[in-house]
Every structure is written in structure tokens, then in C-alpha cells.
Amino acid sequence: MLRRFLETLARVCFRAPRRAIVLATLPMALLGLWALRVPVDLSFTGMLDQESGEIARYFEISHEHQLGGYLLTLIELRRPLAAGAAESAEQSARLDAAVAKVAEVLSASPLVQSVQPPADPQWWVDNLPWLIDAELFDAATGLLEGGLDPAAGARLARAVGDAPLLDDPPGVRLVQVRMTNDPLEMAVGRWDFFEVEQLVREQVEPLFPEVAVRFAGMPAVAAQDQAYTLGLIRKLTPASLLLVLGLFSLVERRWQSLAAVLLVLVLAMGATLGVVGLLTGGLTLMETFFGVTVFGLGVDFAVHLFVRFREEREKWRGAEEAVAATLRGTGRGVVAGAVTTAGAFLIVSLAPDPVAVHLGLSGGIGLLLCLLLMLILLPAVWGLSERDQPLDDAAEDASRPDEAARRRRSASSALRTLRRFEVVSELAVRHPRSTLVATLALLVAAAFALLGFEFETDVSKVLNRKVDSVQTVERIQDLYELNGAPWIVTAEDLAEARRLARAFRASEEFSYATTLADLLPESDEEIARRRERLEELWPRIAALRSLLAGLPPEAIAAAPLLQPLLARLPEGWSAADLSRQMTQLLAALEQAPGREAPSLATLPAGVRERFESESGEQLVIAYARGSSLDALVARRQRAAAQEIDPEATSLSVLLETLMLGDRPWIRPVAFAIVGFVALVLFVDFRRPRLALLALVPVLVGTGLTIGVLCAAGVRFNIMTLTVLPLLCGLGVDDGIHVVHRMLEEGFVRPAHSAAAVGRAVLMTTLTTCSSFAVLLWTDHPGLETMSLVMLVGLPICWLSSITTLPALAVLLFPETGRRHQAESAGGPAAA
């Protein structure tokens, strides 16, 4: 029934080509125009399920507190200081001046919400008597009365340096910038980061040539990766298209045919965007990937149809009969392959995940529309270009001897190519058991190689290698033990914020935590108690400060009063360190009675706005020690953060979800796809053995591909998974075409059938591989692994379709093997 329908369609389109072209292209063009009206969300968030608990929590906090993206700005002397060396006064002044200029320039930009330069440590020291906890305050006053508790004294010694403020290493300053727009919610191609970077390059660096300004954090990483990669792809895409068309011209040299194929692909892509927009209400970044699938399989459809059409014409058939035979024979395999792959994509679209929905719909609808256009437009184009060809061979030879000679040469060339493939297939058919044993041995070896399977969880290993912000992230990690994706917790009041900040500091996973409460006394009652106590001890404080100020560090070491404290100094501390810290502490204690305790009104500019929302809710910001780009590390950090507060969230949550997120729908969807493919093949072939034959290339190709890549040490990643459906689709398509040709020829010569289709399969393999090969020059590990999957997998699928498949056919259909052996007893030449 399908064969009859395809033959009728071929004749109708061939006889009325212009009408067929108009009727096919007009609706597709209208759908493509509709796509221009569909809302487009090219941001990263468009691919996320924002109703998921962890993701929803992040965006709720981000929107409520206008977090935007944290951009860490590292300001460093271009000529590093020697190990252990201190900054000179001039270097310190220049670094501080560079910091002030960066803050001035960026604060004036509407792209920046806030700038936090390095906090003044002196502000913390001056206000230390009000900000240290009660235990440490009592330890300090106990020291003055000679009743020092050694354990508390050791903590006191460190309190001066353990401010909840970043302590800059020599020669380095860190400025924390918060962007106005969250980089995850910005469309691809719109990069605020580069404008911010340009401001610094133009207005800061010329004034401070001895200082380097570098950036880290998601705004920098995302912008650099996208810009570098998309820039290369824009350059490589035309080269890829020309290469594919050049290879396709080996099958069909007429420009009308090439234009028809290109028109089909463009119309199918545009119409698909329109249909997906109608169904979902908008388009996302995922729709940009489906073009690769439609382009790869669309060219595959065209190559099979063109190769078969030329074969029919080389049999001296009339044009209309050749078109009818093409769709009646190869057309059925093209339909079966397209329906199988499109159905698999549409099943994926049923998953409760935005990425799966958009990728599945665009891939499935795109393939079906591409199939429909190919089956209508190609016969119509042949009707326009081939209609005037004489049907009588003798008349054609007499009237056009040059054309007849060209066609004979073409037929001779095609026959030589076919015989080369047939030699390979003949060997497989003559030794079917040896062929299958060799294939099985390779699959077993691939299975063992799977023991080395590794999935890349570090995003930095999947990004473009030219993203220098990744190196800056690592540099900041080494210097400050913090990363660019802080963990955020909200608190109802300052007391709760203070408790949460202390809990983060006590955790081994976190290096630094800060909140507004750290910069304010705990209560008015505590302020009054401390003020009274300091006024009482003021004479002792002044006397002790005078004593220490006149003593060298060695004398301090011998002071009986400080012996308990010296015995409990932190590792690596010297008497000089203690002298410096104690001098600062005593100066602060001496001046405290005459100073006001810090309050919300007297905090440094911009601090309150950073930590407090309009509703009065307090933010606690905690920086983890480990990498912010490794999903496994992010998972561990999330466990530690949510142990402190179950509502803790971070940009790292999105990273973890993307790379390692639980997707319980994968297993049922995978089983549904396998069941659907099996059903389609059974309906198409009506016999399980034939369906099994059609699956041989995809099973062998996918298994060996994964095994080879694992053995070569290639780490799989989230981007690798996006091309596996295309590999499977092309592999199934190869098997379907070979089995259909065997059925068409009555299984008399399986080697000849496989070799005949193998010519077309080779061309589809070459065209698809050439389009993916250009990705090897993107300097992008993620895209390179996508390319490797196709460059390894497609040739294996092709080779298995002309060797393993016909060998298995001989064993599954013994009568075929006996007939083949009888007909080819004289060898391939006799056949």
C-alpha cells in the first residue's frame, strides 16, 4: 500500500511539477514567516525547568534580591612579588588607586548593580571591641586583669586577623562586582561582560600599566565561551556547507537539483520553528541545535533518492518510470527511516523537561516536514529537468551521441564503484560465521572498554580553551580560597544571619562567609556592658599599650603576663605577629569608650544595600573552598550548605542540575523509544528477522563507537549526548535501506544488495562526517567530542551495513545463502 502511494505521488508530482512545488512550498513558507513572530528566549534559563525545587529557589532569591551575576575582578601587579615579600608603600598606593578607579568606572555603568572594593581592614580593627563575640571580649578584658584563660587567649590572638573581611595577599586586590543582569537570563549574543571589560581596558589600564585586571565568575565565563565558540562556528559553517554540497555534487551535478535540496532544508527548518512556536508558545536555545539533525538526515534522504534515481536512469528507463521506481523502491526505506527517527524524537518530547520537549519537537517535526518536502519537490524537480529526455534509447543514442557516451561512462564508473563494495560484501557473505564472530569479538572488547567510561562533570573541561576567565577562577581560588558562585541564604533578622554566618565559617567546605550582622554589635545591652567594662579598665589598657609599644618582640616573649597566650599561639605565628595584633587590639580597646559603636547608619557606603532587601530580609553570602565549575564538587557543597540551611542556594545548583541532575524520565522514555522503533520495523517488514537485520548497523555502530572512544580515553559530556540520537537515526536508516533493497531483489544476492545501497550510505556518511569534522577546529572540547562520535560512529555503521548485515542475512535465511553460493560459485566476477 505504501509503495503504491509513493508511486502515485511520484507520478503526480512529475506530471504537474509547478503545481506540486507551489502546493508544497507555500504552506511551509507561511509557517516559516510565522516563526518570525514567535517569542524567542535564547537564554540559558529557557532550557531549565524553573518549576523544579532547587532551580526555582535560586531564581526566586536572585530576582527578589537582584543578585545578578557575581563578577570577581582580580587586580594584580604584572610583575609578581617574590615569595614572602611585602608590598612597598608605592606599590600599595598604586594598587589601591587602581582599585578606586575600577570602582569609579564600573559604578557609573548601568550594567553594574554594585561594586565592593576590598574592605578596609582598619575599619574592622577600630570597631573590634564591639564586633567580637562576648567570649572573646571577656578574654581580652581578662588579659588586662591578669586572669587570662589560655584557650580563649589563643582565639583572641587570631580575632584581630580573622575579620569577616577578605585579607588581600601582597600585590593583589579583589573587587567584587555584581552585574545588573543575570548572565543566565541573557540571550545568546548579548554579553554585558564585554562592555564592562572594555570600560576597564580603556579607562583604567592606560593609567596603571603596571597593573593587570582580570575577570572571573559566570558573567565572564559564559560570555567568553559563547563569543569565541559562536565566532568560530560562523566562520566554519559556510566552509562546512560548501564541503557538503561539493560531496553531494558527486551524486548530482545539476544546479537545479542542488538548489532543490537546499530549498527543502531551509523550508523544513523555517516551518519547524513555526510549528514548534505554535505548540509551545516560544522558541529556546535548543531549537538552534535541531538544524544539525535536520540537515544531516535531510541530506541523507536526498542522497538515497538521487543515487537510486541515477541507477534507474542508467538502466535506460524513461524519466517518469525512473522517478516512480525510485520512490516505489528507495522511497519506502526513506519513509521508514524518517518515521522511526522522528517518532523517537517525538517520544522524547513527552518528557517533563524543557530541553527534552523542545529538542524532541523540533527534531521530530523537522524530520517529518523534511521527508514530506523531499518526496514532493524532488520528483517535481526531476519532472522539470528530465521531462524532455527521449524515452527511446536508440533515438537518444542517434540524436545525442555525446550524452549517450557520457551516460555509458557514468554507468561504467558506478559499476566499478559497486563492484569494489561488492567484493567486501562477498567476503562477508562467503564467511558469515567468521564475520559475525569477528563482530561479536569487537563488541565484547568494546564492552570491556566501557569499564573505563568517564563522564565529565567539570564545566571548565567542556568550555572553549580560549576562555581565560577559567584560569582567573583558579588563580582566585588559590589566593583567596573562594570561587565565583557564592552560596546564598536568607535570614529574617540580624541575629539569625549572624548564626548562619558562623555556621558557614565552622564548615570545612567554606572559606569565607559574610553578612550585615558581622558589622554590627549583637545588642544595645551588650554595647552598654562593654562600654562600662572598657571605661573601668581604661587605665590598665593605656598602661599596657605604652609598655608593649616600647618593647621589642623578644621582650614580649619573656613577659610573664603573656606566657599563657604565647603557649597557645596558632601554628606559624611568632612573637612579632603577636606584638602587632595585640598592639592593634589595645589601641582599639583604648579608643573604644570615646567612639560610637557601629550602627546601620554608620556602615561603609553600599554595605547595607548589598545584604538587605527592601522587605528587610538579610542575606548571608558564603564562599566555598572548591571549584565552582565542577558539578561533583557543587553537589558536595550543596549538601554542606543545606545542612546549615535547607533553603541555601547558589548558581552551582544550576550547574549540578545540568551536569548531574536526576532525570527519572530517561529510563521510561528509552524503553518507549526502543518499543516504538521495534514496532515500526515490524510493521514495515512484517517479520522479526528482517527487523533484527535492520537494527544491525545501529547496534554495532553505537556499541563499537562508545567502546572505541572509551578505550581512547575520551571523556563523555552533556554535549556528547546531543548527537547520539542523530547517530542512532542514521544507523537505523542505513539498515532499513539495505534490508529493503534485499527484499526488492528477492534476497537472491545479498552482497549485491548491500553494496548497491552501500554506495548511497557511503555518500551520506561522507557528507555528514564532513559537516561535523569542522567542529574539530573550534578549540572547544565539548564540540570536539560531538564531532568524534560522528566521525567514528558513522563509518562503523556504514561498514557494518555492507558486512555484518548481509552475513547475518545469510544465516537467518539459509535458502538465501544456498542460492547465493550456487550463483557465485565462480567468485565475484561470475556473480
695, 732 Cβ separation under 8 angstroms: yes
Flag whether pLDDT at 633 surpasses 90: no
**pLDDT confidence bin for 397, thresholds 50/70/90:** very low
314, 409 Cβ separation under 8 angstroms: no
Cα angle for residues 17, 23, 24 (degrees, 5° grid): 85
Q: Given CA atoms 431, 432, 434, 439 in this order, what sign does their dihedral have?
A: positive
pLDDT of residue 519: 82
pLDDT of residue 704: 94
Flag whether pLDDT at 642 surpasses 90: yes
Give the Cα separation of 434 and 440 in Å (integer).
Answer: 10
Give the Cα separation of 151 and 611 in Å (integer).
Answer: 33
Q: Are residues 800 and 707 in the same domain?
A: yes
730, 794 Cβ separation under 8 angstroms: yes
**Cβ neighbour number for residue 795 with a 10 Å cutoff:** 16
714, 785 Cβ separation under 8 angstroms: yes
**pLDDT confidence bin for 394, thresholds 50/70/90:** very low
Give the Cα separation of 754 and 746 in Å (integer).
Answer: 13
Higher-pLDDT residue of 424, 122: 424
Flag whether pLDDT at 645 surpasses 90: yes
The CA distances from residue 793 to 344, 452, 572, in Å, are 19, 18, 58
428 class by beta-carbon count within 10 Å (0-12 exposed, 13-18 middle, 19+ buried)? buried
Residue with cell 545539476: 254
Question: Chain-centre distance of CA 807, in angstroms?
Answer: 41
377, 21 Cβ separation under 8 angstroms: yes
The CA distances from residue 389 to 305, 319, 384, 397, 400, in Å, are 19, 7, 10, 11, 10
pLDDT of residue 120: 65
| Single residue among 586, 610, 628 that ends a domain in this structure | 586
Nearest to 382 by CA among 297, 318, 460: 318
User: What CATH number does the domain containing 788 carry?
Assistant: 1.20.1640.10
167, 181 Cβ separation under 8 angstroms: no
Q: Are residues 816 and 718 in the same domain?
A: yes
Helices (H), 647-687: 651-660, 666-685
Q: Are residues 716 and 810 in the same domain?
A: yes
Higher-pLDDT residue of 189, 267: 267
pLDDT of residue 125: 73
Question: Chain-centre distance of CA 578, in angstroms?
Answer: 50
Give the Cα separation of 676 and 24 in Å (integer).
Answer: 29
The CA distances from residue 98 to 77, 102, 170, 199, in Å, are 10, 6, 15, 13
pLDDT of residue 553: 66
pLDDT of residue 828: 42
CA atoms within 13 A on the CB side of 814: 0
Cα angle for residues 800, 805, 806 (degrees, 5° grid): 120
Q: Are residues 439 and 571 in the same domain?
A: no
Nearest to 476 by CA among 71, 763, 137: 71
53-62, 149-158, 168-177, 621-630: least confidently modelled range: 149-158
Nearest to 107 by CA among 200, 191, 186: 200
Q: Write out the DSSP string of 88-102.
A: PHHHHHHHHHHHHHH
Strands 283-284 and 40-41 turn out to be parallel
Flag whether pLDDT at 14 surpasses 50: yes
Flag whether pLDDT at 177 surpasses 80: yes
For residue 623, what are the β-bridge partners?
512
For residue 212, give the 3-state DSSP assignment. strand
Helices (H), 36-188: 53-65, 89-107, 121-126, 128-131, 134-145, 150-159
In a domain, 807, yes or no: yes
DSSP 8-state assignment for residue 133: -
Give the Cα separation of 432 and 413 in Å (integer).
Answer: 29
Q: Give the residue-averaged pLDDT of 634-651.
A: 91
**pLDDT confidence bin for 167, thresholds 50/70/90:** low
Domain total of the chain: 2
542, 583 Cβ separation under 8 angstroms: no
pLDDT of residue 163: 46
Nearest to 794 by CA among 774, 771, 764: 764
For residue 716, what are the β-bridge partners?
455
Q: Are residues 710 and 823 in the same domain?
A: yes
Q: Give the residue-averaged pLDDT of 188-192.
A: 75
Q: Are residues 820 and 749 in the same domain?
A: yes
In a domain, 480, yes or no: no
| Single residue among 538, 553, 586 that ends a domain in this structure | 586
DSSP 8-state assignment for residue 450: G
- The overall average pLDDT reported for the chain is 80
Domain hosting 797: range is: 423-462+686-831
Percent of the chain whose predicted confidence (pLDDT) is above 70: 81
pLDDT of residue 663: 73
Give the Cα separation of 276 and 89 in Å (integer).
Answer: 64
**Nearest-10 crossing angle of helices 287-314, 218-248:** 10
**pLDDT confidence bin for 109, thresholds 50/70/90:** very high
Flag whether pLDDT at 395 surpasses 50: no
375-384, 590-599, 704-713: least confidently modelled range: 590-599
| Single residue among 586, 608, 634 that ends a domain in this structure | 586
Counting DSSP H helices and E strands in the chain, the numbers are 33, 10
Give the Cα separation of 639 and 648 in Å (integer).
Answer: 10
75, 216 Cβ separation under 8 angstroms: no
**pLDDT confidence bin for 355, thresholds 50/70/90:** confident
9-18, 153-162, 692-701: least confidently modelled range: 153-162
Flag whether pLDDT at 386 surpasses 80: no
pLDDT of residue 631: 86
- Judged by phi (left if over 0) then psi (alpha if -120 to 50, else beta), residue 68 lies in left
In a domain, 148, yes or no: yes
Which amino acid does the sequence have at 798? W
Higher-pLDDT residue of 322, 549: 322
In a domain, 725, yes or no: yes
Percent of the chain whose predicted confidence (pLDDT) is above 90: 18
Question: Chain-centre distance of CA 48, in angstroms?
Answer: 13
Strands 211-216 and 70-77 turn out to be antiparallel
Which amino acid does the sequence have at 686? R
pLDDT of residue 818: 54
Flag whether pLDDT at 404 surpasses 80: no
In a domain, 493, yes or no: no
In a domain, 14, yes or no: no
Q: Are residues 707 and 782 in the same domain?
A: yes
Q: Are residues 693 and 823 in the same domain?
A: yes
61-70, 203-212, 444-453, 778-787: least confidently modelled range: 61-70
Q: What pLDDT, in 10s, does the model give residues 436-492?
A: 999 999 999 999 998 888 888 888 788 778 888 888 888 888 887 777 788 999 999
229-243, 413-427, 644-658: least confidently modelled range: 413-427
CA-atom Rg of the chain in angstroms: 36
**Residue 178: phi, psi to the nearest 5?**
-115, 115
Q: Are residues 819 and 703 in the same domain?
A: yes
In a domain, 674, yes or no: no
271, 369 Cβ separation under 8 angstroms: yes
Flag whether pLDDT at 831 surpasses 50: no
Q: Are residues 722 and 810 in the same domain?
A: yes
Q: Give the residue-averaged pLDDT of 633-645.
A: 92
**pLDDT confidence bin for 617, thresholds 50/70/90:** confident
Give the Cα separation of 465 and 228 in Å (integer).
Answer: 9
Q: Are residues 703 and 796 in the same domain?
A: yes
**Residue 71: phi, psi to the nearest 5?**
-115, 105
The CA distances from residue 632 to 484, 637, 716, 764, in Å, are 16, 9, 15, 39
Q: Are residues 442 and 531 in the same domain?
A: no
In a domain, 784, yes or no: yes
19-23, 62-66, 698-702: least confidently modelled range: 62-66
260, 373 Cβ separation under 8 angstroms: no
69-78, 105-114, 245-254: least confidently modelled range: 245-254
639, 610 Cβ separation under 8 angstroms: no
pLDDT of residue 579: 66
Q: What pLDDT, in 10s, does the model give residues 552-567?
A: 766 766 666 566 556 6
